[in-house]
Each structure stands twice: as structure tokens, then as C-alpha cells.
Amino acid sequence: MRTTVGIIGAGPAGLFLSHLLHLRGIDSVVLERRDRGHCEARQRAGVVEHGPAAALRAAGVGDRLDREGSVHEGIELRFGGRGHRIDFRALTGRDVVLYAQTEIVKDLIARRLADGGDLRFEAEATAIEDVAEDGAARPRIRFTRGGREEVLDCEHVVACDGFHGIGRAALPADRVRTFAKTYPFSWLGILADAAPACEELVYARHERGFALYSMRSAEVSRLYLQVPNGTDPAEWPHERIWAELDARLAVDGADARPNRGPITDVGVTPMRSFVTEPMRHGRLLLAGDAAHIVPPTGAKGLNLALHDVILLSEALHAWHGGDPGPLDRYSETALRRVWRAEHFSYWMTTLLHPDPEASPFEDRLQLSHLEHIAASRAAAGSLAENYTGIPEP
């Protein structure tokens, strides 16, 4: 079996890359170890930056994003019993769209299949090899499907297979550098069948810990609480969750409690930052979580993945047209945005989460910085610029 670009992983990165390559006349095969139903049900982040939203529209897969997504022109920072709105549109002229990653995956799968795309579910990639052919080394993916091993010969392999996939592990260990940070807290996240009580996301810094008020739709709320690492969700009965959300989201002189409803999902997410350099070795390229992880505070994980594959589609098109330059620069170019997003996510995380190991001095510095953002148009503008997405140069 042979294709031009072998893509491992049918998340938004792998699927969007396959679609973008199709639009440029480049064939691909997507291998995904899970079944289609699993891919279309995975709950992930749902904030789409201004640039990736425009790219989805331009690629013809933005109809449902525009019809069902919720445009957000700002967020609220809540601390000290007060709320402070950061107006993205006024500060940057841009906005973001709240649209679940699950729905993006559904849209892309449907479009690829309608276009005759080769998506192979329940096909687990087991090895990436170099095979000598006509005096050159070409990559090959070994995978198992239906209990049988098969091989896929490619011009290039793009690993969009996440943090635990085989793509990053296939890079030569002596040529790779990794950078990592773990945080002394996690997020307890819930989905609740309750209409959101606010129109925009609320990021709350409270002495008891951080809370985030988000939403999935007009009928479903997505909420998070800062909890210690190693927390067992069983330690948090539903009444305790609601009481803690009420306390952390409180506003002086107003009823700011979230609407309550049946909790349909509870999970704990550790907070970590991770970067692999380089994101390319020969004809093996990494994109998305295979190359970098960010804490979810800055809403950057999905967006970095989409930016990676937008770059890759352009670079692979140039390579097949005889210009290797953009592909040679892919890692360097992608990493500039990655490190900007890593810093912003780190900054948002350390700004809004009381550190259980911090001194009273550091707590006061956090509050002073938040007051500065609330009072300074320049400081608020920097937050807005990074949150909505730094434009391409």
C-alpha cells in the first residue's frame, strides 16, 4: 500500500491536515487506532482562535462552526469578589469561537469521507521505518488492523498521534531535546446539563483555588475546579462540587452562582507543559500533542495543533512543487508560535492558580498583577492578543 503522506492519528490535527492536502491535490492515508465512534465522542477543549476559525471556513469546513458555534468577544477575570471584562474586540479587533473539538472532528470526518478520503479506523500504527528505495530512504508505517499486520509506504509521515503515540518515540534520541514542567495542582472538570448562567468564559482566582466557568452549548455547562494532584473524583460528590463552584465564582453583592443540573461527566486533568525540539527528522514530522503540551488555562492546545498542520500543508505542497525550503523551516517556524503559546499558557496558569507552596508575598504579587490587568489597557491588550491568537507575520 502506498500514499504520498501517511498520517497517524484522526484527531483534529490529522484530519485537518488530510483535508488541506486533498485541497492541494496531495493524497494521504489516515491511520487511527480507535474506532470512529470513539474519535467523535472524545471531550476536549472548545475555544477556536480567530485565525484557525478563519482557516476552517476557508477550507470549506466552517459551516457548522458558524451556525452552531458561539462567538465570544471577551472573557471575565474574577478575583477579590469582583469581575473585570477583557474586551477582545475592542482591544484587538478579533474574537474566538466556542465550538467543541468533538464537533470539529465530526465535521472533518464527514467531509473526508464525502471526498473519498482514506480514513482507516481501528488501525494501530506500531512502527515507523526507513526503507531504501531507488537510492533514497523513504518512510514506511507498520500497522495492525483486524488482527493482521499491514504496511503503508509514504513520501512523508506526519505523527498527529498525541503525547503517548509512537511518532515522537521514533525520533533519534541523540537529536532530540525535551522541555517539561509539571504544576502542583490539577483540574477537576464536570459536564452538567444546565444552561450557562453567563455569556462568556469566567476565569476566577479565589483563595480556595481557581475555577473556570465555560460552556459546551446553550444547554450544557463545562466547569472546572483547581484540586490537588492525585485527586480521586470519588472524593468529590456532586453537592461538594456545586458548593465549591458557588464559593469560588462568588461576586460581592450579586448572585453569580452557576445554574445547577445533572452532572454527566467528572474527570481530573493534570497540568503540564512539554515541548519537543525539533519537530522534524528527515521525512518524519510531528504536529499537535505529539510535539507539545500546554496547560488548558490559555486554550491553546487545539489551536497549536491546527496552526501546525496549516504550516505543514503549505510546506508539503511546496516540497512537491520542488521547493524544499518551507519544509526545511517547518520545525523552526512552528516552534516560534509553540513557545509563545507555552509562555502564555504558563503565565495564565501561574497568574490564576493559588500555588499551595507559595508564600503570602507571592499571593499578593498574583493579586497585584490581576489588578494591573484590570486597570491597564496595555496589559489587558497583551492578554487579549495572545488569547485570540497572535496573527501570522
Mode of pairing for the β-strands spanning 74-79 and 202-206 = parallel
Asked, for residue 282, whether it belongs to a domain, the answer is: yes
Q: How would you class 230 by CB atoms within 10 Å of its CB: exposed for 0-12, middle for 13-18, buried for 19 or more?
A: exposed
Residue 79 lies in a domain: no
**347-357 residue pLDDT tens:** 999 999 999 88
- Is 99 assigned a catalytic role? no
Q: How far is CA 165 from the centre of its chain?
A: 16
**Residue 393 belongs to some domain of the structure:** no
For this structure, is 183 an active site residue?
no
Q: Is 387 a catalytic residue?
A: yes
- pTM attached to this predicted model: 0.95
Look up residue 95 and give its amino acid. Answer: D
Confidence band of 44 (pLDDT split at 50, 70, 90):
confident
Active-site option among 156, 206, 300, 317 = 300
Q: Which of 19, 50, 52, 203 is catalytic?
A: 203
CA distances to 25, 31, 49, 74, 286 from 280, rounded to whole Å, are: 23, 19, 25, 36, 6
Task: Given the residues 19, 22, 50, 72, select the one marked as catalytic.
Answer: 72
Closest Cα partner for 266 from 235, 287, 243, 296?
235
In a domain, 91, yes or no: no
Residue 317 lies in a domain: yes
pLDDT number for residue 392: 73
pLDDT exceeds 70 at position 111: yes
Residues 282 and 315 in one domain: yes
Looking at the structure, do residues 103 and 158 belong to the same domain, yes or no? yes
Q: What is the pLDDT of residue 308?
A: 98
Q: Verify that 28 and 107 share a domain, yes or no.
A: yes
CATH number at residue 360: 3.30.9.10
Domain match, 261 and 157 both: no
Instruction: Say yes or no: 186 and 41 in one domain.
Output: no
Residues 46-69 have pLDDT tens digits of 899 999 999 999 999 999 999 999
Residues 260 and 334 in one domain: no
Is 218 found in the same domain as 186?
yes
d(CA 136, CA 165): 26
Q: With contact defined as beta carbons under 8 Å apart, do 120 and 8 qualify?
A: no
Flag whether 73 is in a domain. Answer: no
Q: Are residues 128 and 277 in the same domain?
A: yes
Catalytic residue among 296, 317, 330, 353: 296
Residues 230 and 197 in one domain: yes
SS (H, E, C) the chain: CECCEEEECCCHHHHHHHHHHHHCCCCEEEEECCCHHHHCCCCCCCEECHHHHHHHHHCCCCHHHHHHCEEECEEEEEECCEEEEEEHHHHHCCCEEECCHHHHHHHHHHHHHHCCCEEEECEEEEEEEEEEECCEEEEEEEEEECCEEEEEECCEEEECCCCCCHHHHCCCHHHCEEEEEEEEEEEEEEEECCCCCCCCCEEEEECCEEEEEEECCCCCEEEEEEECCCCCHHHCCHHHHHHHHHHHCCECCECCCCCCCCEEEEEEEEEEEEEEECCEECCEEECHHHCEECCHHHCCHHHHHHHHHHHHHHHHHHHHCCCCHHHHCHHHHHHHHHHHHHHHHHHHHHHHCCCCCCCHHHHHHHHHHHHHHHHCHHHHHHHHHHHHCCCCC
Average pLDDT of span 161-173 = 95
Q: Residues 62, 35: one domain?
A: yes
Give me the number of domains the chain comprises.
2
Average confidence (pLDDT) over 183-194: 96
Domain range for 42: 5-67+99-180+273-347
Q: 261 and 316 share a domain?
A: no
Taking all residues of the chain, what is their mean pLDDT, rounded to a whole number?
95
196 and 324, same domain (yes or no):
no
Q: Look at residue 382 and tell me if it is in a domain.
A: yes
pLDDT band for 264, please (50, 70, 90 cuts). Answer: very high
pLDDT one-digit tens code per residue, 117-165: 999 999 999 999 988 777 678 999 999 999 999 999 999 999 999 999 9
Provide the edge-to-edge strand list for the sheet that holds 123-133: 123-133, 136-145, 148-153
**Could you confirm whether 346 is annotated as catalytic?**
no
**Pairing outcome for strands 5-8 and 28-32:** parallel
**Residue 143 within a domain:** yes
**Is position 213 annotated as part of the catalytic site?**
no
The pLDDT of residue 393 is 62
Q: What CATH number corresponds to the domain at position 43?
A: 3.50.50.60
